[in-house]
Each structure stands twice: as structure tokens, then as C-alpha cells.
């Protein structure tokens, strides 16, 4: 086999100089040994470094004879099959495989690698000694992260805000679109619309407006009557000033004492019309004694309740009723329809269905079992109606008129016509009838006198005769809600007994106010910051939104009702 | 006393930070906000403003350190303040949040801030600890001197190996080809000591030869070295080539020691740099998250 070995002796831009050589043999050997077909005078070459074999199809087989391998086309290999054009680099020598010219079976070109190329190779293979040489780029990484975060956290949510039609798409993104802006969980009651930020937030750097709140909370009243009080004292009175959402499911309604005490700790000094009673800062240490609302009417009949401190000397409830609690709660019992029986509070006082308040006393269900309104032994099961004075008169007169006209009334001092028993259908003369009815009227008058003055009515009521001489009962005015400005629930206090707060067993007069003053409450309750009592803040008992409805458009009938109910003191 | 980044100007920035921290904590404890403590109270806004300004100022350090002509304080002073105020930022950021965390951009901002600051802590540790380790490791040589010496050793080993035997020459050639100084990020940070199997092979060869002189000695499967052993045994073992071989071994041992020191040097250097690849890019991410945080809370106020 004939190998053409072309040695490049000089390389220049103008061209190269060659000298050609012929090698006979199947194998072309490369190395530093003197016996090699191509001699490489370079210590980086082994004595027998590699060999090239011409195989069929103009291909060459290159094999390394040392374990370090040989660099073919720039990469180290131990053996490879390559076609013409492949280069073998050993040290500074380059052997390029050629297409064999005519008369030859194989050909190679041997040249020295260009110095510039060697330098470039060395640079490329130079050790990478630092992270930046190893390809880490801080600047690129930094700006990439900056823009990626900015796009996701700012770009997408802003896009979703300004292009509502895109929201179905953006809201499905795993990055939650505007959801990632949510600073915390909404209040529980706002969850159902909370996904749509613009329900409350207009966007564009404006704070939530009251209008947004009122689109649902139309009938929430204000704090106090702005005609009476200067509401500018409240400072920022936007809804959102107090109601700060996105702070958890139950953090929307303020319960802290400072909500009130900020203004109320020295409220009376802030304006002329502000009563001292409203100066409060802490239930345990700075809260005035309780004030009750007592029902009262003007001479003209106008309802004009008065407010009076519980501690007022000689304070009485002018209910018009006579009711000694002590007698009814007597330890030894009290006479009942079936002998002596022992009563307790629950015998008469029952809570309302909700448990917060106590139902009003009703004569029929609470008194009449013992206090029968009978008036005649002949009709022992007949009672007059309670509460209707005129009806009582009619009932008694009709009873005696019937007795008189039917006859057979067995009483010695009665006229004959009344005493004589008549058959049914037997007529009486007009004279007899007049006589009988006169008797009946006398009987009715006597009975009514007895009922109203001594036997029945006056047991509990004050009775009097009016100008015409008819019996009447003074109106009953029992207080329904003593503390209309505060909320008290009996249900929450059901671990207590009634007498813990209401000294009924020693009360001899119905005009006694059996209500506890603040000291009684303070036995268990303290201000917000106590640790040995029940911490109670202002809104444990008082509401904030108890004033008139804040004026705004289109007040509905329901609004008006609610407003009125907040001001009216219920009188039963 | 030597003035370092820690006690610069009489611990001035430590006191500044402690004052800032004490003020923030006292205000936080004293403050009785509407509802729960959160970023939307006046104290929350105040602490948030302080934290945001601190972040901008801390990031300005990257610009300031490149301004060699700046006369605005020494760079050491800036770094001292950077460290102390950056540490203070941890707590100020937390107090600003009112410890309210969630799956949102606001907590991402806090999280990025934490990662950036804690990576900075590693940086402080590296800058304090590693330079002395590097000095001790280099043993008063420069890095380039070590690299040059390794190259010289490579050249000399080839000369010695050539004088011994082609097989050993090939081994050394392979060893040189395999020697990697530095390398990729992983190689720099976690160098593997595979630099020189040639030394092991030569040493094993000598052990092998000693072992073969002792009856019953264990042999190991080292085909290449068996060849060298065979060669040396054939050549009598005490001639000139054997001396060359021992010189070669000395060279290889020296090279192994040098390349070990070099990779340790490069590793320390890389460790001193790698935290910056967390610190700096994430601080840019933080800047973006902070912008989104501030814009979002006021956009939907």
C-alpha cells in the first residue's frame, strides 16, 4: 500500500511549500520513536503514540497506542474511524487525512499548528479558576430575576385590574394573579365576594370609600346624633378607619377599649353639650355608676322618660302596682289555691325565647291562679275580666240583672220579685221589673265597691272614683328595659342565681329598684386589661352604631324602622 | 487595636443599629394598634418606610463599592454599616409585618429579604475566616506561582519518564492530560482529588515491588504497574532508571501537593464568591418584590 505523506515546510499567505514522501505499508505510525512513519520530535508525544490504518471506502481507522488517547478533530479518543479531512493533533504537529490522489491508496498532510491557533487553544483550555471564569454571571442573573418577579408580582395583577375581560384567564394562573396581593385573610362575612378586589377597592391608589361599604351596609346607623354632637371629634370617620379587613376572619370588628376611650376618656372637655356621664375609659376603674331609664309621662300625656342614676337617694319606680316581693318569697310559704306553697323567682319570671331578657309579668298567667277575680258566692266560678275596667262594671251589672229577673234569689232583704222563683216564660209586670233592676243595680254597686276597694283590684292597684263616681284603676307603668343604652343578656349569666344581683327577698315595696349597680358587675368584670376578672371592653355592653342612620341617599322604610327602634324605650 | 469591618469607627454602626432596633422594638411593644399589629398601622407604615429605605441604601453598596473615586466615607465604613444595618433590617422587616405571614407577594418580599440577609451572614463569615485559611494554605506562594510550578513539573516529569520507559512516559502523558486545574462551578466548589493517579500508580508500584520481596504478600490488580514492575525487575531495580523513577515520584508527589493546595485555594476563593450569586441576584428579586409590595398595598389601599 502506498501512502502519500505531504509535509508542509512553510506556510504563508501567498501559499505553502510542500515536500512529499512515500510510505509503504498498511499502517501509518505516529510517535517520537525513530522507527515511526511520521516522526514527532515532541516530548508530549509517546514513542509510539498512534497509528492510522486505511480501510475500505476511503476511510481511515485511527487508534491510540497509549492510554492517554489521541486528539482527533479537537477531542481525545482512543480509537475512531474518520474520513478525509479529519485532523490528528499531537503536541504542535497536525496530521490531516486526505483523499488519496491517483496512484496512492492513502494520503496525509503533516504541518505545524499555527502559533495563533495554539495560543487560542491554550486560552480555551486554560484552567477556569474563578466562578465567573466558570461561566456564572451575576448581572444577567440579577436582572433576569428582577424582571421576572416584577412581571409576575406587578405586571400580571395590574393587567388583570385594567383588563377585566382577561381575569378569567389570569385568575387561573398558578401565581394567583391579584390574589398574591392579598395581604391577609378577609373577614369571614366578606369571603363570598372577596375574590373580586374591586368590590371594595377602586384601585388607582385610592383608599376604600364608605360608598363601597354602604352598597351592602345601608341600614347601619352612625355613632351619635350629629345634630347634638360634633362628630368631627371622631377624626377620620371613614368606615375603614376602624374596620380593617385582611387581618383574619374575625378581626374586622373592633373590640378594643381604645375604640371608645380615645374620645370618651375626657369627652366632656371636648364640647359644651357633652354630658359628664359619657366620660369613660375603663369599665373596672373609670366608668360612671349606672343610670336607668324610668318611664314617665307629662301632664298632657306625652311620654317623657327620665334618666336617673341608680344610686340616687330614694329613687323609686312609680309603676302604680303594689307588690311586696318579700311576702311572695316567704321562706314559710304563701297561701295558694291548694294550701300553702313556696314560690321562687321562676314561679313568675320566665326568660324570653332568646334568653337575653325576662318576659313581662302577665296577670292571667302569673297572678290569677291565686288572685281570683270572683265577686259573688252564687256564681263562684265567675270572674271579672282583668285589665278592662268598663267591662268589669258591665259584667257585674249584667250578672245581678239576670239574677234579679230570673228570680229565686234566696236572700231575706231582697224584694219579693227577686226572691220568687218563676217558671220559664212567666212574665213580670213593668213595676216588678223596675223593682228587680233597682235591686240589681244596688247589688252591682255594692259588689263593685267591694271589688275595687278592698277585695280584689286594690290588692295590687291604686283605685279611685272619677268625677262621675265610677271606679277606675291608675295606669300601670312597669319599666320594660332599664338600660336601653346597654345590652345585658341573662342567658350569659345563667351560672348565677337571681338573688346574686336582685335582692328581691328583702324587698317590701314594689317601688324598690331591685337592680344591681356597677359595683355588683365589677365583682366579676373588669376593664380590658385586667387579668383576675372577666376582661370586658366597652362593646361587651355598648354598641357603637347606635346613633341615627347616617344620612345618605334613598333611605328605605326598613332603615327608618331600625332607626326608630334604636331610640324608643319599650314600655310594657 | 486593628480596625476591622466590625469595629469601624468605634463600633459606630453597631450602635446605630442597636439604637434603631431598640427604638423599633419599644415602639412595637408600646403601640396599641387598631385590631392586630400589621403593616397598615401608622407604626407599620413607619417601619415599612424605614425598611424600604434601608433596602435601597443597602443595595446602593453595590454601586458605591465600584466608585473608587467616591469620597463619601471609606468603603470599610460602608461595609461595616452594610453589615450592621442589614442585620437590623431582619427585625425591622418582621416588626413591620406584625408577624403576619401568608402565601402572597408581601411574605415573598420578607422571605427574599431573609435569604439575602442570611446569605450575607455567610459572606461575612467567609470574609472573616477564609482569607487567613487561604494565606495558610498557599504557604506564601502566589496562585500563579503554584500553577507555573505545576506546569514546570509536568514538563520535567515527561523528561524523567521518557528516560525511564515509554510505558511510564505514556502514564505521565495521561496524567498530564487528566490534570484539571479549576473547572466548572461544581469542580471549584467541591474539588475531587482525582488529580493524580500517576503518583498512586508509581507509589503502588514501589510498594508492590517491596511486597513481592516478602513472601505471601498481597497483590493488587494494577495491570499497568505490573508492567512497570516487570520492567524494573528486569532492569535490576537499582540502576539509573530506578533513580529516575524515584525522582519522578518526588515530582509527582510535589505536584499532588501543589494541585491539592491549588484546588483548596480555588475552593476557598469560590466559597468567598458563591454566596454573592445568591446575595446579589436575590436582592434584585427583592427589589422587584418590594416594588410590587409597595405598589400593591397602595394601589388597592
When mean pLDDT is compared over A105-119, A444-458, B112-126, B211-225, the highest value belongs to: B112-126
Q: Does the beta carbon of B180 lie under 8 angstroms from any beta carbon of chain A?
A: yes
DSSP bridge pairs for A63: A51, A79
Q: For residue B234, name the pLDDT band (cuts at 50, 70, 90).
A: low
When mean pLDDT is compared over A210-214, A421-425, A558-562, the highest value belongs to: A210-214
Distance of residue B38 Cα from the nearest chain A Cα, in angstroms: 8
pLDDT at residue A352 greater than cutoff 80: yes
Find the closest chain A residue to B168 by CA distance.
A46
DSSP state string for A389-426:
HHHHHHHHHHHHHHHHHHB----TTS-HHHHSB--TT-
Virtual torsion, Cα A386, A388, A394, A396, nearest 10 deg? 20
Lowest-confidence segment of A119-133, A181-195, A479-493, B202-216 by average pLDDT? B202-216
Within 8 A of A128 by CB-CB distance, chain B residues are: 182-184, 188
Displacement of CA A510 from its chain's centroid (Å): 44
Within 8 A of B289 by CB-CB distance, chain A residues are: 149, 153
A129-174: pLDDT as tens digits: 778 777 788 889 999 999 999 999 999 999 988 998 888 888 888 7
How many CB atoms lie under 10 A from the CB of residue A96?
Answer: 17
pLDDT at residue B51 greater than cutoff 90: yes
CA distances from A469 to A269, A445, A447, A464 (A): 57, 11, 15, 9
CB-count burial class (<10 Å; 0-12, 13-18, 19+) for B196:
buried
Nearest CA-CA partner of A251 in A243, A259, A262, A239: A243
Please say whether the beta carbons of B186 and A132 come within 8 A: no
- Main-chain phi, psi angles of A519, to 5 degrees: -60, -35
Distance of residue B192 Cα from the nearest chain A Cα, in angstroms: 15
Q: For residue B233, name the pLDDT band (cuts at 50, 70, 90).
A: low
pLDDT at residue B261 greater than cutoff 60: yes
pLDDT at residue A348 greater than cutoff 80: yes
Angle A410-A413-A416 from CA coordinates, rounded to 5°? 65
Q: H or E segment at A55?
A: strand A50-55
pTM, two decimals, is 0.71
How many CB atoms lie under 10 A from the CB of residue B82?
Answer: 23
Residue ranges of the alpha helices (H) in A325-366? 325-328
pLDDT at residue A127 greater than cutoff 80: no
pLDDT at residue B191 greater than cutoff 50: yes
> Cα separation of B95 and B118, whole Å?
18
DSSP bridge pairs for A549: A221
pLDDT the model gives residue A364: 92
Give Cβ neighbours of residue A325 (< 8 Å, ≥ 6 apart): A504, A505, A507, A508, A510, A512, A514
Please say whether the beta carbons of A257 and A539 come within 8 A: no
Q: Does the beta carbon of B162 lie under 8 angstroms from any beta carbon of chain A?
A: yes
Q: Which of B173, B269, B295 sits opposite A68 (nearest CB)?
A: B173
Please say whether the beta carbons of B102 and B65 come within 8 A: no
pLDDT the model gives residue A562: 44
A524-529: which pairs have CB atoms within 8 A and are 24 or more residues apart? A525/A283, A525/A284, A526/A283, A526/A284, A527/A257, A527/A282, A527/A283, A527/A284, A527/A285, A527/A286, A528/A256, A528/A257, A528/A282, A528/A283, A529/A257, A529/A282
> Cα separation of A393 and B17, whole Å?
93
Give Cβ neighbours of residue A58 (< 8 Å, ≥ 6 apart): A83, A84, A99, A100
Instruction: Choose from B164, B273, B284 for mutation: most chain A CBs within 10 A.
Output: B284
pLDDT at residue A571 greater than cutoff 70: no
pLDDT the model gives residue B291: 95
pLDDT at residue A570 greater than cutoff 60: no
Q: Which of A44, A153, A251 sits opposite B158 (nearest CB)?
A: A44
Interface ipTM above 0.90: no
Lowest-confidence segment of A13-17, A457-461, A549-553, B236-240 by average pLDDT? A549-553
Amino acid at each position: 500500500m502506498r501512502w502519500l505523506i505531504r509535509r508542509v515546510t512553510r506556510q504563508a499567505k501567498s501559499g505553502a511549500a510542500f515536500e512529499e514522501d512515500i510510505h509503504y505499508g498498511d499502517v501509518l505510525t505516529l510517535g517520537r520513536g525513530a522507527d515511526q512513519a511520521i516522526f514527532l520530535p515532541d516530548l508530549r508525544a509517546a514513542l509510539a503514540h498512534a497509528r492510522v490504518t486505511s480501510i475500505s471506502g476511503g476511510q481511515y481507522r485511527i487508534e491510540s497506542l497509549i492510554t492517554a488517547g489521541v486528539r482527533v478533530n479537537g477531542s481525545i479518543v482512543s480509537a475512531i474511524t474518520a474520513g478525509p479531512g479529519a485532523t490528528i493533533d499531537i503536541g504542535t504537529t497536525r496530521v490531516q487525512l486526505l483523499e488519496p490522489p491517483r496512484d496512492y491508496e492513502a494520503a496525509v498532510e503533516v504541518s505545524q499548528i499555527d502559533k495563533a491557533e495554539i495560543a487560542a487553544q491554550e486560552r480555551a483550555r486554560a484552567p477556569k479558576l474563578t466562578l465567573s471564569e466558570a461561566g456564572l454571571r451575576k448581572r444577567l442573573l440579577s436582572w433576569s430575576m428582577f424582571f421576572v418577579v416584577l412581571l409576575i408580582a406587578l405586571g400580571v395583577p395590574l393587567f388583570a385590574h385594567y383588563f377585566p375581560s382577561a381575569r378569567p384567564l389570569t385568575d387561573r394562573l398558578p401565581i394567583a394573579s391579584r390574589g398574591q396581593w392579598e395581604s391577609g385573610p378577609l373577614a369571614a362575612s366578606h369571603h363570598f365576594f372577596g375574590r373580586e378586589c374591586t368590590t371594595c377597592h377602586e384601585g388607582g391608589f385610592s383608599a376604600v370609600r364608605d360608598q363601597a361599604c354602604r352598597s351592602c351596609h345601608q341600614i347601619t346607623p352612625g355613632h351619635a346624633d350629629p345634630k347634638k354632637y360634633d362628630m368631627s371629634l371622631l377624626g377620620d370617620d371613614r368606615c375603614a378607619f376602624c374596620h380593617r379587613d385582611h387581618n383574619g376572619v374575625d378581626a374586622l370588628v373592633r373590640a378594643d377599649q381604645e375604640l371608645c376611650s380615645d374620645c370618651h376618656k375626657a369627652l366632656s372637655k371636648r364640647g359644651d353639650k357633652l354630658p359628664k356621664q359619657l366620660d369613660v375609659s375603663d369599665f373596672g376603674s373609670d366608668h360612671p355608676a349606672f343610670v336607668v331609664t324610668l318611664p314617665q309621662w307629662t301632664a298632657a300625656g306625652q311620654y317623657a322618660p327620665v334618666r336617673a342614676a341608680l344610686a340616687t337617694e330614694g329613687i323609686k319606680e312609680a309603676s302604680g302596682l303594689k307588690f311586696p316581693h318579700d311576702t311572695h318569697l316567704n321562706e314559710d310559704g304563701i297561701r295558694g289555691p291548694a294550701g300553702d306553697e313556696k314560690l321562687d323567682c321562676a314561679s313568675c319570671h320566665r326568660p324570653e325565647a332568646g334568653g337575653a331578657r325576662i318576659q313581662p309579668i302577665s296577670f292571667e298567667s302569673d297572678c290569677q291562679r291565686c288572685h281570683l277575680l270572683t265577686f259573688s258566692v252564687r256564681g263562684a266560678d265567675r270572674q271579672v275580666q282583668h285589665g278592662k275596667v268598663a267591662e268589669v262594671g258591665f259584667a257585674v251589672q249584667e250578672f245581678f240583672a239576670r239574677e234579679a229577673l230570673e228570680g229565686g234569689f234566696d236572700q231575706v232583704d231582697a224584694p219579693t220579685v227577686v226572691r220568687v222563683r218563676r217558671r220559664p216564660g212567666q212574665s213580670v209586670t213593668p213595676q216588678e221589673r223596675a223593682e228587680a233592676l233597682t235591686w240589681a243595680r244596688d247589688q252591682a254597686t255594692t259588689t263593685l265597691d267591694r271589688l275595687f276597694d278592698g277585695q280584689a283590684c286594690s290588692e295590687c292597684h291604686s283605685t279611685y272614683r272619677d268625677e262621675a263616681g265610677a271606679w277606675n284603676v291608675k295606669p300601670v307603668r312597669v319599666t320594660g328595659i332599664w338600660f336601653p343604652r346597654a345590652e345585658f343578656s341573662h342567658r350569659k349569666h345563667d351560672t348565677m342565681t337571681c338573688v346574686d344581683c336582685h335582692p328581691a327577698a328583702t324587698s317590701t315595696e314594689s317601688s324598690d329598684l331591685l337592680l344591681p349597680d356597677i359595683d355588683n358587675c365589677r365583682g366579676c368584670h373588669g376593664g380590658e386589661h385586667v387579668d383576675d376578672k372577666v376582661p370586658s371592653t366597652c362593646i361587651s355592653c355598648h354598641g357603637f352604631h347606635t346613633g341615627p342612620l347616617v344620612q345618605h341617599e334613598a333611605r328605605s322604610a326598613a332603615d327608618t324602622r331600625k332607626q326608630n327602634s334604636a331610640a324608643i324605650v319599650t314600655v310594657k | 487595636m486593628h480596625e476591622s469591618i466590625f469595629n469601624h469607627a468605634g463600633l459606630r454602626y453597631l450602635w446605630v443599629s442597636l439604637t434603631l432596633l431598640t427604638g423599633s422594638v419599644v415602639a412595637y411593644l408600646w403601640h396599641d394598634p387598631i385590631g392586630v399589629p400589621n403593616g397598615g398601622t401608622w407604626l407599620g407604615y413607619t417601619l415599612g418606610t424605614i425598611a424600604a429605605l434601608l433596602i435601597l441604601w443597602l443595595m446602593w453598596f453595590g454601586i458605591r463599592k465600584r466608585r473608587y473615586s467616591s469620597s463619601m466615607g471609606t468603603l470599610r465604613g460602608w461595609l461595616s454599616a452594610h453589615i450592621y444595618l442589614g442585620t437590623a433590617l431582619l427585625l425591622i422587616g418582621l416588626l413591620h409585618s406584625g408577624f403576619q405571614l401568608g402565601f402572597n407577594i408581601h411574605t415573598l418580599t420578607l422571605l427574599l429579604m431573609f435569604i439575602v440577609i442570611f446569605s450575607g451572614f455567610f459572606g461575612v463569615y467567609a470574609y472573616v475566616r477564609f482569607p487567613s485559611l487561604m494565606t495558610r494554605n498557599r504557604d506564601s506562594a502566589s496562585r500563579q506561582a503554584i500553577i507555573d510550578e505545576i506546569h514546570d513539573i509536568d514538563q520535567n516529569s515527561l523528561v524523567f519518564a521518557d528516560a525511564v520507559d515509554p510505558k511510564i512516559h505514556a502514564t505521565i502523558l495521561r496524567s498530564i492530560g487528566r490534570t484539571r486545574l479549576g473547572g466548572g462551578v461544581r469542580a471549584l466548589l467541591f474539588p475531587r482529588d482525582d488529580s493524580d493517579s500517576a503518583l498512586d500508580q508509581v507509589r503502588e508500584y514501589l510498594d508492590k515491588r517491596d511486597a513481592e520481596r516478602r513472601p505471601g504478600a498481597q497483590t493488587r490488580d494494577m495491570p499497568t504497574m505490573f508492567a512497570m514492575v516487570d520492567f524494573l525487575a528486569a532492569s535490576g531495580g537499582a540502576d539509573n532508571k530506578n533513580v529516575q523513577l524515584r525522582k519522578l515520584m518526588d515530582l509527582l508527589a510535589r505536584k499532588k501537593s501543589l494541585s491539592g493546595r491549588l484546588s483548596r485555594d480555588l475552593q476557598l476563593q469560590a466559597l468567598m464568591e458563591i454566596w454573592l450569586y445568591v446575595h446579589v441576584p436575590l436582592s434584585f428579586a427583592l427589589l422587584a418584590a418590594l416594588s410590587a409590595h409597595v405598589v400593591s398595598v397602595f394601589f388597592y389601599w
